[in-house]
Chains A and B, each alone.
Chain A
């Protein structure tokens, strides 16, 4: 129990505001790595996933890729890329590794989102004369958004945890405290930094959970609410009739 108390004391110690690496700076770098990696991965994986979901082509490839990527050891990947790109490109190397880790879940979220749209709705959209691009933009993307956000959510969680490894290759992020703590045998520092990472992960997860709910299209959430909650349905009807 003392260890936890020490860890928490370490986090809130006034020393964290100063020193070689202030805590706020470490958190900032950690989040920046996460954000950049997820953003770059999204730029690659979201359009690709939409095209795969829309055309149905390349699906097997995407499934295989996501499966294989889960088996890749992230530590090994980071070190491998640092060795490949050279120690002068440590930032680029570690970011590339994080991007590669974030791609599969985002890709899966994007294509399953599009695939999960009711085929009859897509058929209806085509039959009234939407071009394939319009079907994607006006129907498949908005209706598939909740699953895409789900993909971004798991990618972000994975990356925020893995960015810790950046502490090994450079003196960045919360991982640095852990690496340093191991060398100094300072367990309160190791646990304190780990706790901060956990809190970041939980907060990000909550934000994405809220976002996931917010992007459910209104007509779709209306139906869900009506099916699951009779009281709300009654209220909605009252609102609807009083509005007319």
Chain B
């Protein structure tokens, strides 16, 4: 469990990135922080592994404040996936994946074996192990990034807009893979995105953020769509447009659902989900 307690981050130039933020991140679930740029979501994420230090307030992992832990040791114990992969361009895929294991003193051979296993887990062919990151596609690089984060088997996985830089088809594929991985591995995942659809697809708990990391609403995707807490949330998630605003239309074969553009999106099936 990760707990933010009245966390504030003010930058030297006076910008308030995060103001008095509280949040409980439940274990073994995916929590998605979603908001537009400037909402402080990445700052929040980076405070968990002390890449950013809070100005005031505390962040606790299982009851221990992260500020009491050595930042380097803390970061090695938490998986972190960056937007561009953040891979080392001068090292082969296998060496990128073993980075954390080697830093924590795992013998080379054991680390390599573990890395090859993790490549299987993230769906990368073992033959790519000897390539350099620049020889891989964007989607493959992102999988290497996930493999590197998972290699040391951390309990917590932080993902900072990991699919922001890949094309929509690959993104959809990686999102599905993330859901599968989470079912298999059961990590505590904190995921940052500006894409509401991605947030609702991946999140067990979704946190919608306004400027200054002000929480607009927290809840499961269903709770938020069914009962948006404010005008801001309603407009941010787009309940009144696209494929979220559906009317019913009666046809000879039953009731279908039609979106605002007049396209039929699905069939209404009686019963409870």
Interface residues of A, Cβ cutoff 8 Å to B: 118, 120-121, 123-131, 134, 138-139, 142-143, 217-220, 222-223, 226, 236, 240, 244
Closest to A244 in B: B127
Given contacts A120-B82, A129-B73, 18 further A-B contacts (CB under 8 A): A120-B84, A121-B88, A124-B82, A124-B86, A124-B87, A125-B86, A126-B75, A127-B46, A129-B75, A129-B100, A130-B99, A131-B72, A138-B88, A139-B88, A217-B89, A217-B90, A220-B89, A240-B135
5 examples of A-B residue contacts, CB within 8 angstroms:
A120-B84, A127-B49, A128-B148, A129-B72, A130-B99
Pairwise interchain contact B103-A129, C-beta atoms closer than 8 A: yes
Total chain B interface residues with beta-carbon distance under 8 A = 33
Q: Does B263 contact A (CB under 8 A)?
A: no
**Which listed residue, B83, B91, B99, B127, touches A128 by the CB 8 Å rule?**
B99
Pairwise interchain contact B103-A134, C-beta atoms closer than 8 A: yes
Pairwise interchain contact B82-A123, C-beta atoms closer than 8 A: yes
A121 cross-chain contacts in B, Cβ below 8 A: 86-89
Pairwise interchain contact A223-B89, C-beta atoms closer than 8 A: yes
B100 cross-chain contacts in A, Cβ below 8 A: 128-129
Pairwise interchain contact A120-B134, C-beta atoms closer than 8 A: no
Give the distance in Å from the alpha carbon of A236 to the alpha carbon of B130 in the complex: 14
Give the distance in Å from the alpha carbon of A17 to the alpha carbon of B104 in the complex: 61
Most chain A CB inside 10 Å of its own CB: which residue of B74, B85, B134: B134
Pairwise interchain contact A130-B103, C-beta atoms closer than 8 A: yes
**Which listed residue, B46, B91, B149, touches A219 by the CB 8 Å rule?**
B91
Closest to A225 in B: B134
**Which listed residue, A126, A222, A244, touches B132 by the CB 8 Å rule?**
A222
B73 cross-chain contacts in A, Cβ below 8 A: 129
Pairwise interchain contact B90-A128, C-beta atoms closer than 8 A: no
Q: Does B80 contact A (CB under 8 A)?
A: yes
Pairwise interchain contact A219-B134, C-beta atoms closer than 8 A: yes
Q: Label chain A's interface by main secondary structure.
A: helix
B80 cross-chain contacts in A, Cβ below 8 A: 127-128
Most chain B CB inside 10 Å of its own CB: which residue of A126, A129, A131, A139: A129
Interface residues of B, Cβ cutoff 8 Å to A: 46, 49, 51, 72-77, 80, 82-92, 99-100, 103-104, 127, 131-135, 148-149
Pairwise interchain contact B92-A127, C-beta atoms closer than 8 A: no
B81 to chain A, nearest CB (A): 9
Give the distance in Å from the alpha carbon of A185 to the alpha carbon of B99 in the complex: 67
Pairwise interchain contact A240-B89, C-beta atoms closer than 8 A: no
Task: Take A120-B82, A124-B87, A127-B82 as given contacts and tell me if A219 and B133 are in contact as well, using a CB distance cutoff of 8 Å.
Answer: yes
B83 cross-chain contacts in A, Cβ below 8 A: 120
Closest to A118 in B: B89
Give the distance in Å from the alpha carbon of A128 to the alpha carbon of B84 in the complex: 14
Pairwise interchain contact A219-B148, C-beta atoms closer than 8 A: no
**Which listed residue, A127, A143, A226, A244, touches B51 by the CB 8 Å rule?**
A127
Give the distance in Å from the alpha carbon of A134 to the alpha carbon of B91 in the complex: 14
A125 cross-chain contacts in B, Cβ below 8 A: 86, 88
B85 cross-chain contacts in A, Cβ below 8 A: 124
Pairwise interchain contact B134-A223, C-beta atoms closer than 8 A: yes
Give the distance in Å from the alpha carbon of A223 to the alpha carbon of B99 in the complex: 21
Task: Take A218-B132, A226-B134 as given contacts and tell me if A123 and B103 are in contact as well, using a CB distance cutoff of 8 Å.
Answer: no
B114 to chain A, nearest CB (A): 15
A26 to chain B, nearest CB (A): 42
A238 to chain B, nearest CB (A): 13
B92 cross-chain contacts in A, Cβ below 8 A: 219
Pairs A-B, 5 closest by C-beta atoms:
A124-B86, A219-B132, A217-B90, A129-B76, A223-B134
B135 cross-chain contacts in A, Cβ below 8 A: 219, 222-223, 226, 236, 240
Give the distance in Å from the alpha carbon of A143 to the alpha carbon of B87 in the complex: 13
Pairwise interchain contact A126-B51, C-beta atoms closer than 8 A: yes
B76 cross-chain contacts in A, Cβ below 8 A: 128-129
Give the distance in Å from the alpha carbon of A143 to the alpha carbon of B85 in the complex: 17
Give the distance in Å from the alpha carbon of A118 to the alpha carbon of B134 in the complex: 14
Task: Take A127-B51, A128-B148 as given contacts and tell me if A220 and B86 are in contact as well, using a CB distance cutoff of 8 Å.
Answer: no
A226 cross-chain contacts in B, Cβ below 8 A: 134-135
B133 cross-chain contacts in A, Cβ below 8 A: 219
Most chain B CB inside 10 Å of its own CB: which residue of A120, A127, A220, A223: A127
A139 cross-chain contacts in B, Cβ below 8 A: 88
B134 cross-chain contacts in A, Cβ below 8 A: 219-220, 222-223, 226
B104 cross-chain contacts in A, Cβ below 8 A: 129
